Structure 1
Amino acid sequence: MALTSEKNIKKALEYYTFKSKQLKAFINENNNLTVEQIIESGKELEILEYKITALEVVEEN
């Protein structure tokens, strides 16, 4: 059972890391984002980074 949990944590960490990189690329590659798009992207990135940090802490323990 612990192995399944570890596998799920690893998969979730990979997914959120991928989504974070994808969002950062979107932000960095677009020169004509509106203020609303920048703010919304920042909020999404904050959530993703929080989840990544939490999963890394769980993975260490």
Structure 2
Amino acid sequence: MGKKIDTAIIYYSKKGQDILDIVNSKTNLSADEIIHYGEEMAAIEYKLTALEVAKES
């Protein structure tokens, strides 16, 4: 089970970094895009937090 959690943490960390790279590379984000990317990051951070808690258990 630990290996699956580690794999999921790596996956979601990569997805979060991809979103940050997209946001940082754009110079003219609309409000809707900022909200969209923010919601995606919030979901990813929530999943990463849950995975870290599960890993410690």
Structure 1 residue ranges (4+ consecutive) displaced by more than 3 angstroms after TM superposition: none
Equivalent of 1:13 in 5, 9, 32 = 9
**TM-score, normalisation: structure 2:** 0.93
For the residue of structure 2 that corresponds to 1:38, the secondary structure is: helix
Q: Which has the higher contact order (CA 8 A, sep 6+)?
A: 2
1:1-61 aligned at under 5 Å gives the runs 5-61=1-57
Identity across the alignment (%): 39
**TM-score, normalisation: structure 1:** 0.87
Post-superposition offset of 1:57: 0.8
Matched residues, number: 57
RMSD of aligned alpha carbons:
0.7
Instruction: For structure 2, list consecutive stretches of 5 or more residues without a partner in the other structure.
Output: none
Post-superposition offset of 1:6: 1.1
Instruction: For structure 1, list consecutive stretches of 5 or more residues without a partner in the other structure.
Output: none
